């Protein structure tokens, strides 16, 4: 029995060595391979996935993704940034690698969005765990979740559109349920009522819409009683999305407004009573 097992082991070893598609990484225990890969710079991982299908599948393992995100928060000597620029003509994303070696000439690389033909003009709603949430800056009717390093993207379901609206976005992650959520705060006007003559549009009505990635439709959380700055996307800090409120006649002071993505209802008043400096 031992002799048969030894022969089988030798045949398996010979088969592995003769296979040109097999590399040493496949022979390592998965836990060790994950630990090695989690310490590599993101640019090395992008090159790593192009070697073979087995390595590409290894990089898509959710356990490796979680380990990499955990390790990256502890390491500060491999910083990188993704910048968004919409000048002079078309929007572009740029990857800046501060960990690149001095002899490398290209420290800034252009990222070509694969959906630029469908949505040529976009805004960055937010970023979380290496994912970008992008919205159509012209019509506010399209949303994409995009991984700039793998090139994979997903268009999100359309939400209800009001004829005359102003939208504030947020993109967050619920660490407890491991779910990504997109917040859409819509301010709109009553289509049946008369509009007062003013240079600035007044949106008196509101609705908060939330989409959990993987769900087919948006969920309404009701309305909000405060206005948020339109151009500032929600900042995700300690599991909460934060916005700056817009001053109005009955609430002249700016406030820092926070919202937890795992909430099933929007708070009627700011959860934090912090006043923004005048």
- Which of 77, 112, 145 corresponds to the end of one domain? 77
Among 58, 77, 96, residue at a domain's last position: 77
pLDDT at 10: 46
pLDDT at 247: 73
Q: Is residue 1 part of a domain?
A: no
**Mean predicted confidence (pLDDT) in 131-153:** 85
Cα separation of 81 and 132, whole Å? 12
**Angle, to 10 degrees, between the axis of helix 62-72 and the axis of helix 30-37?**
40
Residue 83 falls inside a structural domain: no
Establish if 257 belongs to a structural domain: yes
Q: How far apart are CA 227 and CA 206, in angstroms?
A: 9
SS3 for 36? helix
User: Between 222 and 199, whose confidence is greater?
Assistant: 222
Identify which of 34-38, 52-56, 151-155 has the greatest average pLDDT. 151-155
Looking at per-residue confidence, does 134 or 3 come out higher?
134
86 lies in some domain: no
Alpha carbons 41 and 20: distance in angstroms, whole number: 27
Tell me how many domains the chain contains.
2
What whole-number distance in Å separates Cα of residue 100 and Cα of residue 108? Answer: 10
Residue 168 lies inside a defined structural domain of this protein:
yes
| Structural domain that includes position 274 | 157-193+200-278
Domain limit, last residue, from 52, 77, 102: 77
- Tell me, yes or no, whether 273 and 164 share the same domain: yes
226-247: pLDDT as tens digits = 778 766 567 777 778 888 877 7
Q: Give Cα separations from 116 to 82, 113, 150 (angstroms).
A: 17, 6, 16
Is 8 inside a domain boundary?
no
- Integer Cα distance of 120 and 250 in angstroms: 39
**146 inside domain:** no
**Of the segments 50-59, 89-98, 141-150, 160-169, which one has the largest average pLDDT value?**
141-150
Q: What predicted TM-score, i.e. pTM, was given to this entire model?
A: 0.71
- Residues 79 and 72: their CA atoms lie apart, in Å, by 9
Banded model confidence at residue 17, pLDDT cuts 50, 70, 90: very low
Residue 10 buriedness (CB in 10 A; 0-12 / 13-18 / 19+): exposed
Whether residue 163 sits in one domain with residue 60: no
In a domain, 7, yes or no: no
Percent of the chain scored above 70 by pLDDT?
A: 67
């Amino acid at each position: 029995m031992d002799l048969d097992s030894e022969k089988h082991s030798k045949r398996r070893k010979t088969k592995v060595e003769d296979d040109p598609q097999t590399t040493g990484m496949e022979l390592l225990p998965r836990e060790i391979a994950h630990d090695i890969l989690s310490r590599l710079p993101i640019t090395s991982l992008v090159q790593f996935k192009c070697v073979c299908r087995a390595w590409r599948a290894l990089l898509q393992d959710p356990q490796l993704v979680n380990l990499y995100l955990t390790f990256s928060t502890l390491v500060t000597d491999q910083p990188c940034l993704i910048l968004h620029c919409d000048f002079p003509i078309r929007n572009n994303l740029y990857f800046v690698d501060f960990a690149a070696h001095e002899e490398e000439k290209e420290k800034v690389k252009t990222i070509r969005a694969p959906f630029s033909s469908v949505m040529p003009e976009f805004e960055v709603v937010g970023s979380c765990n290496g994912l970008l949430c992008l919205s159509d800056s012209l019509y506010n009717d399209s949303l994409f979740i995009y991984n700039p390093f793998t090139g994979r993207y997903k268009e999100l379901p359309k939400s209800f559109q009001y004829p005359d609206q102003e939208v504030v976005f947020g993109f967050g992650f619920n660490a407890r349920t491991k779910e990504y959520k997109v917040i859409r705060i819509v301010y709109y006007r009553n289509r049946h009522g008369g509009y007062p003559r003013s240079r600035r549009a007044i949106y008196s009505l509101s609705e908060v819409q939330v989409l959990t990635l993987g769900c087919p439709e948006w969920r309404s959380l009701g309305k909000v009683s405060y206005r948020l700055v339109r151009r500032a996307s929600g900042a995700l800090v300690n599991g909460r999305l934060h916005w700056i409120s817009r001053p109005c006649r009955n609430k002249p002071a700016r406030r820092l407004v926070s919202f937890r993505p795992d909430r099933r209802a929007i708070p009627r008043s700011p959860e934090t009573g912090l006043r923004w400096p005048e």
